[in-house]
Amino acid sequence: MQMFFIQFFLVLAAILIGIRRGGIALGLIGGLGVTVLVFVFRVAPSEPPIAVMLIILAVVTASAALQVAGGLDYLVQLTERLLRAHPNRVTLLAPFCSFFLTVCVGTGHAVYSLFPVIADVAWKTRIRPERPMAVASVAAQMGITASPVAAAVTTFLAYSIKMGTPVTIFDIIKITLPAGLVGVFVAALWSMNRGKDLDKDPEFQERMKDPAFREQLDVSVTTLDKKLPRTAKPSVAIFFSGVLFIVILALRDTFVNAGYHLPNIMPLVNGKAIPMTTVVQMIMLCFGALILFATNIKASDIAKASVFAAGMTAVVSIFGIAWMSDTFITSNQPFLIAKMKLMVQAAPWTFAIAMFCVSAFVKSQAATLTVMMPFGIALGLPAHLMLGLIPASYAYFFFCFYPSDLAAINMDRTGSTHIGKYLLNHSFMIPGFIGVGVSTTVAYLLAKMAFHF
């Protein structure tokens, strides 16, 4: 037991230092943690999460091609038109916009370009920007488990295959999409009246005494005056054709599992179907190449895109931190199972609490599932139960060091979106708890009704 706690505090320290350093430091320090566990504590290293990393790499590359071709700007302009058409409802509309943007492109990093628009619409309508900004940031990350091209969804799919349970991408989405929408809606409703109106906020009124502060608030932020290249709309059509193709394959798998005899779209390898985790990688790279050829964008610009840079940071972070965490859990699995088995067997939903706690430190839902799914399998939990708990894999709003949260803070020029004096009293805490709590509860009930576990 003593050795377990020494290793535990080592892993915890590595995660906390990585969070404080930011960026790819989390991955690098995670790699340092693996090295210490292997060479100092003499434990066997687990397999690094290669499939998860490759899925993120494929989706992010295609999304970056979409960005370079102007497609992402086109989607943002459509969103801005909606928000400016209904400015008084920005607190309700903004989180749904960020949620669906993530569902469509498979990464929450696409939301950065929306934040200046949300903040500007809120300020011009004299709505406290913290209200839509905080919940929009949370909703963007909640959309990951509802996206057919997100790494978290395909990671869950990969582990369910290992369990021998016929779960398809469509099975996952039909649970996580409605659950996520309900969670976002409840969190947005709560956010509508949070905090003081700016004209009654003493801190804001004190800042307004500074002429420089007042001047920067008068700057208008919009994407509508940006002239889009002619490649913008075609790139969106191509990208979503790829997403649609993945959905069609998922629907086919769902009907086959239900007993329908349908022609096989993909070739068989040694009598077995190609895993959907591999299919997603192929399709996203393929349609990224189609965007490249159809729009004639420069390949070098794709590597310079902000979405690509953010995605590569996520890949490195997952590489190190998920590898370290999985190595720790695998080496201490008998001890952990002995301590948790009775609790999880008596109340299986408590596994969601464990997953939430891990996610608070591991800044990726895919990485959280990579760490926790083998643990759930070892505890004998059915795949359908874990599907109902999948929204709990998002908790990295807890410490408020995730890039989208920091971006929301920086892009709110009024300063209402903030990190509090005591670190944990920040703008994202309550919307995060409400959104994740409600969506996990709804997903659990939907999965229970659909799969009768």
User: ∠352-153-368 over CA atoms, to 5°?
Assistant: 45
Residue 258 has a pLDDT of: 66
Helix (H, G, I), strand (E, B) or coil at 36: helix
Counted domains in the chain: 1
Beta strand pairing status for 268-269 and 272-273? antiparallel
In the three-class reduction of DSSP (H, G, I as helix; E, B as strand; rest coil), residue 25 is classed as: helix
Amino acid at 103: V
Give the pLDDT of residue 448.
Answer: 93
| Helices assigned H by DSSP within 379-428 | 383-388, 403-411
In the prediction, which pLDDT does 67 show?
Answer: 92
Cβ neighbours of residue 311 under 8 Å, at least 6 residues apart? 56, 57, 59, 60, 61, 63, 64, 107, 109
Indicate the burial class of 44 (C-beta count within 10 angstroms; 0-12, 13-18, 19 or more).
exposed
Is 419 strand, coil or helix? coil
Tokens found for residue 180: 């996520």
Q: What is the dihedral of CA 273, 274, 280, 282, to 10 degrees?
A: -130
Distance CA 380, CA 398 (A): 29
Burial class (CB in 10 A: 0-12, 13-18, 19+), 453: middle
Domain interval for residue 377: 2-451
**Beta carbons of 453 and 447 less than 8 angstroms apart:** yes
CB 336 within 8 A of CB 49: no
What pLDDT score was predicted for residue 65? 95
b (16+ CB within 10 A) / e for 422-431:
eeeebbbbbb
Amino acid 110 reads A
CA quadruple 183, 184, 189, 192: dihedral positive or negative?
positive
User: What phi and psi, each to the nearest 5 degrees, are found at residue 269?
Assistant: -120, 115
Supply angle C-alpha 409, 135, 247, rounded to 5. 115
All residues at 6 or more sequence positions from 215 whose CB lies less than 8 Å from its CB, including other chains: none
- Of 319, 334, 335, give the one whose Cα is nearest residue 371: 319
**Rounded distance between C-alpha atoms, residue 123 and residue 133, angstroms:** 11
Rounded Cα distance, 104 and 100, in Å: 6
How many alpha carbons lie under 13 Å from residue 368 in its C-beta half-sphere? 28
DSSP state of 42: -
DSSP-assigned beta bridge partners for residue 268: 273
> What does pTM read for this prediction?
0.85
Q: How far is residue 361's CA from residue 321's CA, in Å, rounded to a whole number?
A: 9
Neighbours of 407 (CB within 10 A): 20
Euclidean distance between CA atoms 303 and 286, whole angstroms: 17
* Positions in the chain short of pLDDT 70: 19, 22, 257-260, 453
